[in-house]
């Protein structure tokens, strides 16, 4: 039995909270400016639109949990401990897992998703850089998870192996998305040349940058996926 420690955050919950807060502030900003016609209120809600992004680090710290990962022979568990010492324990029997996904979301987070044969997927987002010396960063933990499951697969019949699935960007859906965006950009560029060739709209430039960013992300995710298989 092996124990490891790290830090997790419920990334999806934080993203939903931040997004909902910004949308609510934007709606109140419009109401204040055009219906109530109060510039003072409009300024307050305008600040509210950008405030969650400014305070994102503090919001993440608030939702941060310490995590203990315990690996047994045919199972593992993850126990998350919140700042109020409330604990949430997740137990996983390897025979109940159909597949898993590892993705390096950005320079801050890496995430492992567990897809059980029956039941809903469970996602764990780990911080890649930590301040505590006794804790492991997400990159190390992802490698440990992957090696643990590969060791299990090495002594398991093919029909019962736990499969590593690619991230969205490394999947066929991600490739189709890139082709679709390129196709739409070509159409938009062609229409622009036909009807207005004097200027290049910023939207075409941003669309091109988006495609390049997605293509780079796909290349990075494909590299990690092939290394972990």
All structural domains of the chain with their residue ranges: 2-7+62-164, 11-59, 172-228
**Please, what is the Cα angle at 221 between 143 and 149, to 5 degrees?**
30
Q: Return all residues near 78 (Cβ < 8 A) that are at least 6 apart.
A: 8, 67, 68, 69, 89, 90, 92, 124
Mean pLDDT to the nearest integer, 104-113: 89
Question: For 140-149, how does the pLDDT look when each residue is reduced to its tens digit (9 = 90+)?
Answer: 999 999 999 9
Find out whether 103 and 167 touch, Cβ atoms under 8 Å. Answer: yes
Contact residues for 9 (Cβ-Cβ < 8 A; gap 6+): 60, 63, 64, 65, 109, 125, 127
Q: How far apart are CA 80 and CA 69, in angstroms?
A: 9
pLDDT value for 201: 67
The answer to whether residues 42 and 32 touch, using CB atoms and an 8 Å cutoff, is: yes
Q: Residue 221 class from Cβ within 10 Å (0-12 exposed, 13-18 middle, 19+ buried)? A: buried
Residue 229, pLDDT > 80, answer no
DSSP tag of 129:
S
Quick one: pLDDT band at residue 191, thresholds 50, 70, 90?
confident
pTM: 0.80
Cα–Cα dist 44/137, whole Å: 39
* pLDDT for position 83: 85
Segment 123-134 mean pLDDT? 82
The pLDDT score that the predictor gives to residue 196 is 65
Distances (CA, A) of 72 to 9, 112, 229: 24, 18, 22
pLDDT band with cut points at 50, 70 and 90 for residue 102: very high
The pLDDT-based confidence of 80 (bands split at 50, 70, 90) is very high
Residue 197, pLDDT above cutoff 70: no
Sign of CA dihedral 173, 138, 89, 86: negative
Which pLDDT value is given to residue 33? 86
Q: How far is CA 24 from CA 14, 16, 34, 62, 198, in A?
A: 15, 12, 16, 21, 39
The pLDDT of residue 37 is above 90: no
pLDDT at 198 exceeding the cut of 70: no
CA triplet 158, 160, 166: central angle to 5 degrees? 80
pLDDT in tens, 13-32: 898 999 999 999 999 999 99
pLDDT at residue number 200: 62
92 three-state secondary structure: strand
Q: What are phi and psi of 83, to 5 degrees?
A: -70, -20
Whole-number pLDDT of residue 222: 86
Question: What's the average model confidence in pLDDT over 123-138?
Answer: 83
Averaged pLDDT of the chain: 87
**Is there a contact between 94 and 151 (Cβ–Cβ < 8 Å)?**
no
In the predicted structure, residue 34 carries a pLDDT above the cut 80: yes
Question: Which residues on neighbouring strands pair with residue 164, listed in sequence order?
Answer: 100
List, as one string, the DSSP characters of 17-49: HHHHHHHHHHHHHHHIIIII--HHHHHHHHHHH
pLDDT tens digits for 47-68? Answer: 999 998 889 888 888 899 999 9
Instruction: Average the pLDDT over 134-160 and give the result.
Output: 89
pLDDT at 199 over 70: no
Classified by CATH at the fold level, domain 2-7+62-164 comes out as PH-domain like (2.30.29)
Residue 190 has pLDDT above 80, yes or no: no
């Amino acid at each position: 039995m092996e124990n490891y420690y790290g830090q997790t955050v419920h990334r999806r919950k934080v993203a939903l909270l931040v997004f909902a807060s910004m949308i609510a502030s934007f709606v109140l900003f419009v109401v204040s400016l055009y219906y109530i016609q109060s510039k003072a209120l409009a300024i307050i809600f305008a600040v509210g639109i950008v405030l969650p992004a400014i305070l994102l680090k503090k919001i993440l710290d608030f939702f941060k949990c310490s995590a203990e990962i315990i690996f047994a022979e045919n199972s593992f568990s993850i126990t998350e401990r919140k700042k109020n010492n409330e604990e949430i324990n997740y137990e996983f029997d390897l025979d109940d897992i159909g597949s898993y996904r590892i993705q390096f979301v950005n320079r801050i987070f890496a995430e492992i998703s567990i897809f059980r044969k029956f039941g809903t997927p469970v996602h764990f987002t780990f911080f890649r850089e930590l301040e505590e010396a006794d804790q492991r960063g997400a990159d190390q933990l992802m490698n440990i998870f992957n090696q643990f499951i590969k060791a299990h697969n090495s002594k398991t019949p093919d029909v019962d192996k736990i499969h590593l699935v690619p991230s969205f960007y490394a999947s066929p859906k991600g490739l189709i998305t890139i082709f679709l965006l390129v196709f739409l950009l070509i159409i938009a560029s062609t229409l622009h040349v036909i009807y207005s060739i004097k200027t290049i709209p910023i939207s075409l430039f941003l669309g091109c940058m988006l495609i390049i960013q997605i293509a780079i992300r796909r290349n990075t995710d494909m590299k990690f996926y092939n290394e972990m298989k």
